[in-house]
Amino acid sequence: MVKPYETFVYNKERDANVFLNRDIKKNDITSELVASQSLSISVDLMTKMVRLIKEEFHHFEQVLQIMTSRGIEYNNMRAGRYAKQLITHVRTHEPSTIIDKLIIGAFIEARSCERFAKLAPHLDDELNKFYVSLLRSEARHYQDYLALAQDIAGEDISDRIAYFRQQEAALILSEDNEFRFHSGTPV
């Protein structure tokens, strides 16, 4: 399932039309995955994450279709510092690691939702409609990530959310040399 996306993104010789018109086999990758025995909600976590991944792949294809229809070539961009810096604060023992990563995922999705809401009114009808649909998805993903983190923790995670809120605020308010969808104040 992931291979066609990796090949397209990392291959220098790429053709968006070939990628978008490829023969898609409808397989369920959950049959290839094995849930961890050490985490009681592993199957639920795996099922929800696979569904989220599939939705994100669909969004990638939608963006690529819009870009192609507008004559915009796909180019790789280096990721900004936002997620990379948040990840440096993740605890290194399970289940704390997965809890922290899910909280970070929730912040990323919430900021995406916020930014889509700010941008949508300033776009043409096609992009406005698309950004509003992305906004709804990101809002659902944000909630899913936090619910999964809470389920895994089995206790209140408010303190950990507050900790990442502080880290994230520092990133957003600091100067950033690269302008990205998730970045700090442009230099």
- Predicted local confidence at residue 14, as pLDDT: 83
Exposed, middle or buried by CB within 10 Å (0-12, 13-18, 19+), for 175? exposed
CB count, 10 Å around CB of 22?
Answer: 11
Please state the three-class secondary structure of 117-159 as a single string.
HHHHHHCCHHHHHHHHHHHHHHHHHHHHHHHHHHHHHCCCCHH
DSSP 73: P
Q: 6-54, pLDDT tens digit by residue? A: 888 888 788 888 888 887 765 545 556 665 666 666 777 888 888 888 8
- Predicted local confidence at residue 150, as pLDDT: 95
Has residue 71 got a pLDDT over 70? yes
| Structural domains of the chain ordered from first start | 1-76 (no CATH), 79-187 (1.20.1260.10)
DSSP 186: E
Mean pLDDT over all residues of the chain?
86
User: pTM for the complete prediction?
Assistant: 0.82
